[in-house]
Amino acid sequence: MRSGIRQLTIVDSDRVCITNINRQLMATTKTVGQVKVDALKERLLSINPKAEITALQQIFSEETAESFELDTYDYIIDAIDSLKDKAALILLACKTKAKFFSSMGAALKLDPTRIKVTEFWKVQGDPLARAIRKKFKHYGQFPEKKFQVVYSDELLDNLGRQPDDEEVPSTFNKPQTNGSLAHITAIFGFTLAGLVISDAGQRASTDR
């Protein structure tokens, strides 16, 4: 909103939980229990009341993918936790005209200087990227175009479930995962936003 983006669709099925307060913009003691996308929409509109924000309290999956009309977007950002759904979005988004960016694992990372941007198949040292590549090989399907990802090559002891474990429902029907810290998730998010802003700027310059 502060960088001139006026049309935005945000997708999340959860409600704000007290454990989100340490790292999520819309999560405060006053918004606990609210639908996350609604709380975020309200926050963003307080920054730019003229913004056009669509808030979808949904889960993206192979079953729901058609309802998202991915072909209508200029940019698509993946920040999905579920391995299966993440792989599905990558495969489908890479078939569209949209510029696509993806976030790899931010959980348990501590060192902000280890966060990088590279093409997906060049990622090294990230267990989530490795698990996604494994999924693609299992499916026998691969992304139809190259795309950049934000990742960290910092490796620490895993305290939760591995990315390719069978997912066991936890809070809000999500798998149990490792925790993450505000400065790391913020850098991941701002980097993804920066990639969009940079690409949009380059497109605007070319169109002049």
Q: What is the pLDDT of residue 4?
A: 82
**Residues near 172 by beta carbon (within 8 Å), at least 6 away in sequence:** 13, 14, 15, 17
pLDDT tens digits along 5-20: 899 999 999 999 998 9
Q: What is the pLDDT of residue 167?
A: 42
Q: What is the pLDDT of residue 160?
A: 45
User: How sure is the predictor about 179, in pLDDT bands with cuts at 50, 70 and 90?
Assistant: confident
pLDDT tens digits along 105-162: 998 899 999 999 999 999 999 999 999 999 999 999 999 999 999 999 998 765 444 4
Alpha-carbon dihedral of residues 193, 196, 198, 199, nearest 10 degrees? 170
Q: What is the pLDDT of residue 176?
A: 47
Q: What is the pLDDT of residue 178?
A: 61
As a whole number of Å, the end-to-end CA separation of the chain is 23
pLDDT tens digits along 31-77: 999 999 999 999 999 999 999 999 999 999 999 999 999 999 999 99
Q: Please check whether residue 185 is in contact with residue 112, taking contact to mean a CB–CB distance below 8 angstroms.
A: no
* Per-state percent for the chain, helix, strand, coil, to nearest 5: 40, 15, 45
